[in-house]
Amino acid sequence: MIAETVCSAVSAAGLGIAVVTAYRRRFLAAARIAAYALVPVGLVMTGLVGWLAHTAFSPTAWAGFGVLGAAWLLFAGTRAVERRRAGRAAAGGERTEAMAPGASAPSLSAGSRPAKGSAAPRPAGSAAPTDDFRDIEAILKKHGI
């Protein structure tokens, strides 16, 4: 009896926090908090807190499974929305990977490599690599890459 009361109080508090979070226009976080808040009530309603007492034929237990299903749908729905937003952000031109500003193309392509003995001048439009990139290029050349 006390366990059910505590679980109900925890769920009520969680749903209150979800309402406050939704009021702050953080709807995905509010839905996730509501899903977490429904879990204790679902566990009480399914009878797991009372260790499966009359679970098989209890309408309350089946209603608890419905509440747990609703919580799972909220979890899955918020994850799907987050993934869709992340996909739009990546497609919108935002870079999600860390890379140097000018590192989108290799510094030496296969067709522009100078012969081993000749020092071909760089084109006027390209800037000389910084010292950091010179070190990296030296290491790569040493290994034949």
Over residues 38-57, the pLDDT tens digits come to: 998 988 887 777 665 566 66
pLDDT at 121 over 70: no
**Cα–Cα–Cα angle for 121, 122, 128, rounded to 5 degrees:** 125
Virtual torsion, Cα 104, 109, 111, 114, nearest 10 deg? 130
Instruction: Name the more confident of 57 and 23.
Output: 23
Residue 134 above 70 pLDDT?
A: yes
Residue range 24-35: average pLDDT? 94
Q: Has residue 5 got a pLDDT over 60? A: yes
Q: When comparing pLDDT for 99 and 64, which is higher?
A: 64
| Two tokens, residue 42 | 């679902």
DSSP state of 55: -
pTM for this prediction = 0.43
DSSP 111: G
For 65-84, what is each residue's pLDDT tens digit? 899 999 999 999 999 999 88
